[in-house]
Amino acid sequence: MVERTAGIGTGLATEDMVLNIGPQHPATHGVLRLRLVLDGEKIVRAEPIVGYMHRGAEKLFEVRDYRQIIMLANRHDWLSAFANELGVVIAAERMLGMEVPVRAVWARTMLAELNRALNHLMFLGSYPLELGAITPIFYTFREREELQKVMEEISGGRMHFMFNRVGGLKEDLPAGWLDRARAAIDAVRGRMSQVERLIHGNEIFHARTRGVGVLKPELVGTYGLSGPIARASGVDFDLRRDDPYLAYGELGDVLKVVTRKNGDCFDRFECLLEQTYNALDLAEACADRLAKLPQGPINLRLPKVLKVPEGETYAWTENPLGINGYYLVSRGDKTPWRLKLRSASFNNIQVLEELLPGYLVADMVAILGSMFFVVGDIDK
C-alpha cells in the first residue's frame, strides 16, 4: 500500500514510508513485528502484529492432566517460569478446597520473589544494551548467576523450574539451602549499586529515556496494562498488597509497591530497579520465616489420578511483568475443560499503537525496550 501526502512549503510531493520492524529484529526481542508508517523519521502510525510464536497452549491445556499443564504453563514467559506455574496450581487448589502446608506457602513466596529478581535483572541489563550501553548486561548477568545457582539447586531446572505441584512443592528444601540463598541475596543486593551507578551516571541514557514514551494513566486502564509499566505512570495497584495470596498478607511491612508519576521510559526503568531491591528484601524475609518454622510437610499426598470437581474459578497473580490471570473451568475430569490464560505482555504491547506515533524511529527502540515484554507471553 502506498500512502501519499500533499507537499507543503517547497511544493514537492512526499510519500509516507511503510517500515516493518521484525518479525526477526534485535529491537523486537524476538518474533514481534511492528508495522510503522513513517513521515521521514517520524512515526505516523504503528501496528504491533503478533502471533509468530503462537503454539496453542490453551488448547494443549485441555488434553493434559493437572500435573502436565504446569510444564506447559511455565514456558510462555520464559523469564518467569516459577511465577507462571503458581496461577495454575492456585486455581486447581482452590477448586479442590486444598489447604497447602504453611512451609510450602512461605517457600513458594520466597521462590516467586527470587524469580521476580531474576526477571528484572535481565531487563535491567538488556535495556541499556538496546540503547548502546554494553557494560551493564555483564554486571546483571553476574547477579543473575548468583540467584540462578540457588534456584537450580532447589529445583534442578535452570529456566523451567517445574517445582510447583498441586498441593505444594515437588520436595523439601535441601539441607543448608536457606543459608546459601541468604548469602546469594546479600551478594546481589550489595553489588546492585554498581549497576545503578553505571546507568544513572550515563547522560546518554538519561537523554534517551527522560520524557520519551510518556504513557498516560488513562491509557493504562483502557488497555488493561499492569505491573511496573502501569505503576511507572502512577497507577498504584499491586495484587500482592491489594488482593494478597501466598504469604504476602503477612509481609506488609516489607512489601513496597513502587510507583512513579511521569510514565516515561526512565520511570519504567526506575520502577524495575527499585522493585528488584524489594524482591530481594521479600525473599530474605521469607527465608527468615522459613528458618523459624518447625519441620513439616511441603506438599499434600495426591491420588494417582487427580480430578478437579466440576465448576469454575479465576485466579490471578502479580507476575514480574504484570497481572497473570487463569480462568479454569472443570467438568470433573482429570484435564481442564477450559483454561484461559491472561498474560501481562499481551496487554502491555497493545498500547504501542497509541504510544509510538509522534516519536522518531530512534525513540521507538527506547520505548519498545521499556515495555518489558516477552514475546512468548504475548503469543502463548
13: phi then psi, degrees, rounded to nearest 5: -75, 140
Q: How far is CA 378 from CA 226, 303, 346, in A?
A: 14, 35, 4
User: In the structure grid, which three cell numbers stand for residue 183, read together?
Assistant: 548469602
User: Do 46 and 34 touch, CB atoms closer than 8 A?
Assistant: yes
Tell how far CA 170 is from the center of its chain: 23
Q: How far apart are CA 11 and CA 33, in angstroms?
A: 34
pLDDT tens digits, one per residue of 358-378: 999 889 989 998 998 888 888
Query: What strands, in cross-sheet order, belong to the sheet with 42-49?
Result: 3-5, 14-21, 33-39, 42-49
What is the C-alpha separation between 183 and 181, in angstroms, rounded? 5
- % helix, strand, coil for the chain, step of 5: 50, 15, 35
Instruction: List, for the chain, all residue ranges whose pLDDT scores fall below the cut of 50.
Output: 1-2, 4-10
The C-alpha atoms of residue 153 and residue 176 are separated, in whole angstroms, by 11
- Who contacts 370 (Cβ-Cβ below 8 Å, separation ≥6)? 127, 209, 213, 229, 265, 268, 269
166 touches 303 (CB < 8 A): no
The number of C-alpha atoms within 13 Å of 42 and in the hemisphere containing its C-beta is 4
Helical H segments across the chain, by residue range: 57-61, 68-73, 81-96, 102-130, 135-155, 177-200, 203-209, 217-223, 227-231, 239-242, 265-292, 344-350, 352-355, 361-369, 375-379
Contact assessment for residue 356 and residue 36, using Cβ atoms and an 8 Å cutoff? yes
CA distances to 126, 130, 185 from 26, rounded to whole Å, are 11, 8, 31
List 341's β-bridge partners, or say none: 326
Give the pLDDT confidence score for residue 132 in this predicted structure: 86
- The gap between the terminal CA atoms of the chain, to the nearest Å, is 30
Residues 291, 293: Cα–Cα separation, whole Å: 6
Grid look-up 524475609 returns 285
**Torsion from C-alpha of 53, 59, 63, 67, nearest 10 degrees:** 60
Which three three-digit cell numbers place residue 72? Answer: 506447559
Q: What's the CA dihedral at 286, 232, 118, 179 to 10 degrees?
A: -20
Task: Give tens-digit pLDDT for 320-362.
Answer: 999 999 999 999 999 999 999 999 999 889 999 999 999 998 8
Q: What percent of the chain has pLDDT over 90?
A: 70
Please name every residue paired with 33 in a beta bridge, in sequence order, or none if there are none.
49
Question: How many angstroms separate the CA atoms of 103 and 287, rounded?
Answer: 11
Structural contact between residues 163 and 112, judged by C-beta atoms closer than 8 angstroms:
no
Q: Helix (H, G, I), strand (E, B), or coil: what is residue 319? A: strand
**186: which 3 cell numbers?**
546479600
- Write down the pLDDT at residue 91: 95
Torsion of CA 111, 115, 120, 122, to 10 degrees: 140
What predicted TM-score, i.e. pTM, was given to this entire model? 0.91
State the amino acid at position 43 in one-letter form.
I
